[in-house]
Structure 1
Amino acid sequence: IVAFSPDGKRALSGSKDTTLIMWDITTGEIIRRFEGHTDQVRSVAFSPDGSTAVSGGNDAAVILWDVKTGQVIRRFEGHQDTVRSVALSIDGSQLLTGSYDDTMKLWDVETGEILHTFEHTEDVVSVAFSPDGEMALSSADTVIHLWDINGEELQTFVGHSSWVKSASFSPDGRMIVSSSDDSSVRVWNINNGDELCHFLGHTDYVEQAIFSPDGSSVLSSSGDGTLRLWNVTNGAEIRRFSGHTDQIMSVDLSVDGKILLSGSYDMTARVWNTETGEQIGQFNGHSGALVSVDLSADGTRALTNDGINLMLWDVTTGEPLQTFEEGLQSESFIGTAVLSPDGKTVLGSDNTRIMVWDITTEQALHILEGHENWIYSIAVSPDGRKALSSDEGGVIILWNLTAGTEIRRLEGHSGSINSVIFSPDGQSALSASQDTTLILWDVDTGQIIRRFTGHTAAVQQGVFSGNGRTVLSGSVDGTLRVWNVADGREIRRMDQGKTVWSVAYSSDGQVAVSGSADSTLRLWDATPLKLDALLRWTFAHRYVPELSCTQRTQYRVGPDCNSEGIFPTHTPYPSQP
């Protein structure tokens, strides 16, 4: 699972290895890792200001994290099973969590106190706040529930024939959009529960559906390998993102969010216009499946890696600019590669070593040696002076890039570490691991600040929000999660359905991108959902149904039904002359 920071500069991912990782969106580098969960991280979310992140996991834990330090601010204890989704209110003061223990809980973020428990009869898969923060939304089985934040159920939305995967509010709080295993996307009227629109076209489960910022369209992602944009007014399909023919292993977004880069097992890297959905470029120079891609900070160059060839491309022309080979061992495999923030150097892993190249001269500057196991990820600090690397044995090494020497080791994961990243300020780091957890580290001391737990399978990637307050994670469990860094709580969860290999944030923090084993690129709404407007509507349009005779007796509501089992009706007011 992954989540963008509010400013779009960082993303946070959670994994099956129990950790979360914060990423720098511009460089693709790991800022820090969050460790605190003991099982797979299933959901993550940033706070509105990006200073904290929340995560939830298979260990039933909900953790609030400090994004800057990676420390656990608070643990929220109360769920008895997997925490499948989390959401923070727009002011960050309240938290919603949905769990497989058949409950949704409302928490006070400041105290960690449970304000209310919303009982369900099935696993709660998704939760959301209304834009005004006064109502809550939950999905369980085939039904969507609308609640007053104080615990009263206001409305149910029934129509899906299979499990509801996601449900969220429109920006104005007047509509709800839902997606389901029945391959459909539906839009509902909050006032009366009526279905307003039914989008048909996907040929497999629909993992996620979200409204556009203006509420005029809906974006959906499906197991059929496509992303589709729909017109809410007439139900027509506006456009779709499709093209890759195999699993998408890595994605990255330009700083302005207009360009999307994807790398796939189909041996191509593709460039997309996020506004139109059109593929505007393709890099075909590789002879093997692409395992990593990275965009330069200005979005003009792309670094691609197929494990054998490490190539730098001109994004505009699609022409290869450079190939990096010097210093590599014969028959070596390049596990991962990244550009430095200033775009002057390239770092690539070579089995258990890291090569550092000068882009201008193409000469090897350093060979960093110290790992005893296969290197899985590399990250460069924001100032370009340090680097982090993680390996198959669960070890993270902090390097001095100026001297080419090891500074310290960070040890705390119980499984291989799939990704590492520095926080935006470079003071902490986030790691995502096979042990289903993410860990947030203090870079200066090497100490664990906190763990993010909740994923039920390996966490492939974690990224920070731009302000470092939330973390976005993606996992083999098929979910993207947003975490509050301050206390480690899972704020939001998005179900991809298939393994999420890579995640990224848009620069404004509103959109998350995932690359998946289902060969699709999916765009997700990564903004914290409000709760205010919906509650105001609830109080103004509340409907109270007539009680049956049995209910009147049970709840002692008079007048009673007569001997024929007929309850009395109100006498209408006389009509006005």
Structure 2
Amino acid sequence: MRVSIPAVAVWGRIAPSHSITAIMITDDQQTIVTGSQEGQICLWDLSSELKISSKEILFGHTASVTCLAKAREFEKQPYVVSATENGEMCVWNVTSGLCIEKTKLPYRHTAIYYYHCSFRMTGEGWLLCFGEYQDVLIIDAKTLSVLHTLSSQSSDWINCMCIVRSARIQEDSLVAVSVTGVLKAWDLSSSLTSIQERQNVCEKESKSLDCMNCRAIRFCTYTERLLLVVSSICWQVYDYCDFSLLCTEFCKSGQCFAGGEVLAAYRLIIWTEDGYSYIYQLLNSGLSKSTYPADGKMLKETVYPHLLCFTDVKENKSFPFVMGFMNERKEPFYKILFSGEASGRITLWHVPDVPASTFDGSPKEIPISTTWTLQDSFNKAHSMSEGIIDHLCEFKDGIENAVVTSSVYIPRLDKLVCGCENGEIFITLGLETARARFLENVSLKGNLPHKVLNGHSSRVTCLLYPHGNSVRFDPSWLLSGGQDSTVICWDIFTGKILHRFSLQSGPVTELLRSPDNCKVSYHSVVCCVCSDHSVAVLHLQKKVCLLHARKHLFPVKKIKYDPTENLLIVGCYLLTLSFVCDVYEHLRLIREVKISILFKVCH
């Protein structure tokens, strides 16, 4: 019989980190869902007055969340799906907070769209996914199993897509743009039988667009004619009937477009990576597509944009933004532009039904309706219980002396290890401390044992207890990485420094243990990733650095070991190349490989 053990997470005065990487609003406009770099999903209540309050934090992922989407018809089942960098997928009930279904696939999704055709399909519908793989995956919305793939004659990664539902021709289509700027269109409703029978389904049309790095594509359901394509440097409007170009607008110097939506017939909203958005009215130029200019070529520009309004985030522009738009046709009929920041802040704008410029014709700024963070919710709670490490992080003049920057809990030893902003490391009892504080209401200061380790000159960025996942490592070893570019091996029982690795690189960002299936002589090896894109391999038993690979031009994204050849595979944030290092034999860069091949190895 399966026994479920409830777990309780308790925070002190400081809210947990929630660096927003994905954001959506549910169809009923009552819940905001955010995914984070830390892997948590946060549910926020949204009132009819557009006031935000945090509701729940959902734990179920072990990697950064890449995308969110609805997973059912929301009136029937309030489900959303989340996906992460390492291929995890979860379906959540946003009313109860329960995880309904989960899986892990060898695919990194960057966007998901729910599709269901009630009069032609059985089951709960499909999740149409694209990401760092070729073409479009079709996943069962109930079981999260892969059903089929929408392929193409020239397969490629997809940058963006949208579902086109045409009431005029009673046909659903999927329109996508590849990383090379090729627009592709698949029939959905007429291909249901072929997909269910796993027959090959290719695109019905394809066209090369004059733009690269497309960020969004949207179909205008009001006119059933216009197709909006947003790239990083410009946005364009095409005629959906023949894919002829109608309009082009370039971004301002120093800005990059990130997405857009259709507000109404001939009215668009476009937003940028740094939190701006612009609302345009498309006006007729008075020229016809059948008119030919003097050079004999077909005229393209038949409409031109007029800027009506704009929005702006007044501060924190150093943080990256993820933005979206909801145009709800039910009560309270709000048009909402929303954004989430890496700082954890959510911002909402109420877009008027008929946006208008000022009296002199200049664009009008739409004010922020509301903005909120998790910390705002914590500050709103007037009675805050003492946290289990608050007695170690004493306050002076209302300022916390030791802000926790990394932590690890060791269940076998019941030890909670916390690295701090000032370089100190606290080791205290975990469950014993929690019991004393919350069950027995005992003041913790001076009543429970703890250790303070001093060795780093600045922030402790990461911690690793390698024996917790592998008995190959000595149970006394505790590793800490710091902003001072050092890795320290501690004796967790005595608090003494066993060895200090000085890397002379950037701050240490991650510590990873070697896999169980590597050579016996390298069972005491850990891998260290630094912010200057370098990777170091440290032998704890021999107290030496086996390798420090410094030639990566781009940030390190993924590290994998190949035990058969003793290779360390380092994947970087680069579309074409990665690097493969022979760790134990030649200690040098031996070859470059295509990133698509690397992902197959990594997954």
Q: TM-score per shorter chain, which class?
A: 0.3 to 0.5
Greater relative contact order, per chain length (Cα 8 Å cut-off, separation 6+): 1
TM-score, length-normalised on structure 1? 0.46
TM-score by length of 2: 0.44
